């Protein structure tokens, strides 16, 4: 059986100036060495990427961006491209976060273009999907998830090479983001299992066994162990708690709580 390494990723959203960003990385970095089979990634705002990349040094922390445009360059005022992110040191990019879908009207079609660009340009996409509270209460969770997967991974579904096994998916129920209301391990597992089954059907067993599926939405030191003990949950995409070194370090060390 293929064992997937857990990934604990911090999405800093629109928080922290350069000085604060560097301070936070410097607090986290010394705690990476004692992790066992757990990867750590942080996604700071664009303005902090360069300084954070320097501060990461050879600690092993991975660097991601929170969004990107699908073109390499051009007249797209206010946008950032994949090659620019790579130059700043990024290996990963978060795409289709619900805040981008809802507040900035990003559609599955746009997200599909971005996923394609990331893969073609050599960045690992972290594709976010998730239902709203209304959709959950109306029993639409699985339809919404399937729809988002079908449409934002359209390019990869049609691509002869399939989906790179390094691709990361993140299930983030919108009702659990920034609300302090977390999906229970069981609730999240049900959706993660559904997502893995979808990957298996659309691609193949090997891809389904290797692709990591993160959970995001009010992850904190108290609920992380329950979530990470689920068979199809391979890590966390952490918002608020990733801005506080002590909380994020505890989350990274979720295995201590499994003992
Ligand atoms: P919170 O952890 O603040 O709920 O945010 C989750 C999130 O949106 C991560 O991408």
Ligand 1 centroid to residue 42 C-alpha, Å: 13
Mean pLDDT rounded to a whole number for the chain: 96
Prediction pTM value:
0.97
CA 168, 125, 160 angle in degrees (round to 5)? 90
CA 197, CA 93: separation in Å to the nearest integer? 24
pLDDT at residue 13 above 60? yes
Atom 2 in ligand 1: residue holding the nearest Cα: 239
- How far apart are alpha carbons 37 and 3 in whole angstroms? 10
**153 vs 173: CA distance, rounded Å:** 18
Segment 59-76 shows an average pLDDT of 98
Indicate if the alpha-carbon torsion angle 25, 221, 212, 68 is positive or negative. negative
The tokens of 76 are what?
């797209």
Structure tokens at 206: 């090997």
C-beta separation of 92 from 52 below 8 A: no
Q: What is the pLDDT of residue 78?
A: 97
Summarised one tens digit per residue, pLDDT across range 93-121 is 999 999 999 999 999 999 999 999 999 99
The span from the CA of 27 to the CA of 30, in Å, is: 7
Q: How far apart, in whole angstroms, are the C-alpha atoms of residue 212 and residue 193?
A: 12
Q: Could you tell me if the CB of 64 is within 6 A of ligand 1? A: no
- For the chain, the C-alpha Rg in angstroms (whole number) is 17
Task: Answer yes or no: 31 catalytic.
Answer: no
Q: Give the pLDDT confidence of 167-208 residue by residue, as tens digits.
A: 999 999 999 998 888 889 999 999 999 999 999 999 999 999
CB 130 near ligand 1, within 6 Å:
no
Q: Is 97 a catalytic residue?
A: yes
Is the CB of 11 within 6 Å of ligand 1?
Answer: yes
What is the Cα–Cα distance from 246 to 258, expressed in whole angstroms? Answer: 18
> How many Å lie between the centroid of ligand 1 and the Cα of residue 74?
31
Taking CA atoms only, the protein residue closest to ligand 1 atom 5 is 239
Q: What is the mean pLDDT of residues 235-246?
A: 98
Separation of first and last alpha carbons in the chain? 23
- The packing angle between helices 49-56 and 18-28, to 10°, is 20
Indicate whether 259 pLDDT > 60: no
Which pLDDT band holds residue 257 (cuts at 50, 70, 90)?
low
236 Cβ inside 6 Å of ligand 1 = no
**C-alpha angle 2-167-11 in degrees, rounded to nearest 5:** 110
**Distances in whole angstroms, Cα of residue 29 to Cα of each of 8, 57, 89, 152, 190:** 13, 9, 16, 34, 33
Q: What is the pLDDT of residue 258?
A: 58
Q: How far apart are CA 74 and CA 186, in angstroms?
A: 45
Among residues 69, 97, 192, 253, the one annotated as catalytic is 97
């Amino acid at each position: 059986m293929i064992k997937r390494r857990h990934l604990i990723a911090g999405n800093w959203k629109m928080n922290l100036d350069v000085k604060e960003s560097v301070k936070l990385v410097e607090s986290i970095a010394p705690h990476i060495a004692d992790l066992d089979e757990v990867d750590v990634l942080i996604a700071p705002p664009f303005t902090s990427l360069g300084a954070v990349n320097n501060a990461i040094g050879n600690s092993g922390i991975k660097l991601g961006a929170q969004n990107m445009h699908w073109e390499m360059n051009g007249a797209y005022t206010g946008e950032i491209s994949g090659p620019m992110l790579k130059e700043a040191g990024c290996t990963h990019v978060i795409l289709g976060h619900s805040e981008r879908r809802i507040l900035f009207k990003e559609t599955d079609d746009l997200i599909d273009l971005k996923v394609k660009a990331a893969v073609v340009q050599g960045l690992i996409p972290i594709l976010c999907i998730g239902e709203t509270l209304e959709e959950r209460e109306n029993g639409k969770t699985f339809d919404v998830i399937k729809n988002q997967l079908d449409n934002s991974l359209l390019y990869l579904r049609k691509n002869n090479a399939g989906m790179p096994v390094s691709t990361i998916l993140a299930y983030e129920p919108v009702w659990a983001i920034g609300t302090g209301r977390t999906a229970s391990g069981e609730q999240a597992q049900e959706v993660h299992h559904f997502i893995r089954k979808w990957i298996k059907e659309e691609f193949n067993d090997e891809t389904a066994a290797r692709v990591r599926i993160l959970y995001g939405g009010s992850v904190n030191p108290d609920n992380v162990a329950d979530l990470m003990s689920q068979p199809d949950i391979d890590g966390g995409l952490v918002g608020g708690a990733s801005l506080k070194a002590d909380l994020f370090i505890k989350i990274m060390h979720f295995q201590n709580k499994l003992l």
